[in-house]
Amino acid sequence: MSVHLTCKQAVDYISKKEEGKLSSWQRVKLWQHLAICSLCRTFSAQNKIITHSFKHHLNFKQESLTDVQKNEINSGY
């Protein structure tokens, strides 16, 4: 098992980190990779912005279908 992450692995870890699905050991490995890789640091920053913007959008606009609309969809009109 390699101690160092590839950029491909780092991208996967970055996504998992935003989802809260990263173990402590994975966080350490990601931190080490980000310390030496500016491209992955940039991706991480961009991913964080996108994720937080999306979460803010979901919290801001909580629309759902009415029961009538759900029944129309289920009945196929």
State residue 74's pLDDT score: 82
Cα–Cα distance between 61 and 3 in angstroms, integer?
Answer: 42
State residue 42's pLDDT score: 96
State residue 14's pLDDT score: 95
pTM of this prediction? 0.66
Helix axes of 38-60 and 7-19: crossing angle, nearest 10 degrees: 30
> Can you give the pLDDT of all 77 residues of the chain as single tens digits?
567 899 999 999 999 998 889 999 999 999 999 999 999 999 999 999 988 887 766 665 556 778 888 888 888 75
Inter-residue contact 31 to 22 (CB < 8 Å): no
